[in-house]
Structures are given as C-alpha cells and as structure tokens.
Structure 1
Amino acid sequence: MHERPTRWEAETRLVAAGYRITRQRRAVLAALGGTQVCLTANEVYDAARCACPSMGLATVYRTLEALIDVGAVRRVHGHEKCEAYVAALGSQGCSVVCTRCGRVREVADYDLRGVADAAAAETGYVIADHFLQLSGVCGACRGLAGGAPPEGRRASAGARR
C-alpha cells in the first residue's frame, strides 16, 4: 500500500510548478489529507471553510485543478456517482472506492505495463500515465468485522452536498 503525500510534499510540488502557497490552498490540502474517503468539491469547500471562512467555491475548484496538475490529487468517480477528489498516491496506482461510504483504499501496484504497451501499439500514443479505479462495497458497509464506515459518511447513500 502507498502512503498519501504529506501536505508538505504537496506544497513542495505546487512551489516547484510555480504556484504560491496560500492560506486557501493549505485549507484545501488539510481537508483532503484529513480523511480516508474521497470528497466532492462541495465537501472539500465545507471542510476548508472551517480554516478559511472567506474562501469561495471557485477557489476550491482552482486549487483542486492545481493539485491535480502537480500530481498531488486525483479526480475519481466517488460514491453516489459524483465526481470526487482524493490525495494521489503515486503516478500509477490502483484505487478501490466504496460506492456506499466513499472510503478509498489503495492496493498494490499490479503490472499494467502490458496493457499500457498494447494500448500504445494500437493507438500510436506514448502512454505517460495510467490510473485504475475499482468500485465496490467495503467490508464495513457490508457489516463485516473491521469497523464502521469512515467518519463523516453514512453506510447508506445520503443526500448530496
């Protein structure tokens, strides 16, 4: 399993790409780093506004795009079929997302190079990156031993924020 980039690592990536580290960007990073689940932009906004009440939703979207650009955040298909965001765990990971609670787990890197090579041969593309996402229902949401769904989420589908 991979480790999520620390806030410091994400900030370093932003600075290296020419972005400034602002209070708003730190609030977004804190919101994403403080959870095991994928978050919608509105959920990131709600969490980040605790630290930065004057922040607007457009700032959250711009910050998320900057973080995606530098590889610190990934856009995923979250639970309830919403677009969501999660701290990135490397350039070629495999994420498993619970469709009920939104918990995100990373699994070992499986060898997808053969798939990427075949796609490159068929299309003529130079494959620079890939991301595999699997969706299912986690053990906690199925009622198996191992704990409750992550804090902040219900096991059943809830209202969108």
Structure 2
Amino acid sequence: MKLVEQLRGRFGVEFVLRVLGVASSTYHGWVARQADPSDREREDRAITAEIVDIHTASGGTYGSPRVHQVLRRRGVRVSRKRVERLMRQAGLPGALLRKQWRTPSTRQDPRTAPAPDRVNRDFTAPAPDRLWVADATRIRTGEGVFWLA
C-alpha cells in the first residue's frame, strides 16, 4: 500500500491498483485504518515506543524475554509473544550469544610424548629453593585475554 501512496501522484490510484492486482476496497480500507487506527494498533504503537526505549537503554542487548520482564516491572501487561512480534516488526534484534569454540592456547603435536613428571605429583619440597612449580591460567575479559601465572 505504501507503494501505491508513492506512485499515486504520477499514475493515479486506480491504475496502480489495477497493475498490482489489488482491489480498490483493500486500498481504501488501508487508508481509513491509517487515518483512524484501532485501539489495538494504538496500544501496539505505545508498547513499541516503550520497547524501543528499553532496547536502546540496554545497548541493544535485550531480547524479548528481558524486554517483557522490564515491561512487567513498569506495570505494562503484555504477553511475551506480543513483545516478540512488536520487536520483530520494529526491527529490534536482541544480542545473540553464540557458542564459542574453545581453542587451546597451545596446539599439541599428537605424535610427541608429554613432558615427564619429574616430581611424581609430590609438590612438597625438602628445603627452600629445591622445587619450583608454575601454572598459567587464561582468563577471557571484555577487553581481551588476561593471563594469570
């Protein structure tokens, strides 16, 4: 119908509708609904405005379940499916958490033998400076990888 609105000045409404194969009653019904939307459409517009506010405040990370939760806290009674539909219509996606593949920091050669255990898992030292043991842990942060030794 928006195409008909765009082309009506150049070609006329009836001609565009005939070319598109759309009944004129469909077009005129759409025009009437645009001028006087139903209560449901008005509610949808108000809820969509709230949803856009919540989605923007979350940095675009909230999906329909969290947006629905915030709406309920604000006292707006609406189903999660309706929130989902309105978000889809408004083009508001939530952040996708993808399963990330864990890659080891060191790629082992399967043909080589592992390093020998020279202390036989006994980490007690008879005197200072006799036994040295180390470990490194990889910690992922928002700014990159952090190594703790």
TM, length-normalised to structure 1? 0.33
| Higher percent of residues as strand | 1
Structure with more contact order per residue of length (Cα contacts < 8 Å, sep ≥ 6)? 1
| Higher percent of residues as helix | 2
Pair member with larger Rg = 2
TM, length-normalised to structure 2? 0.35
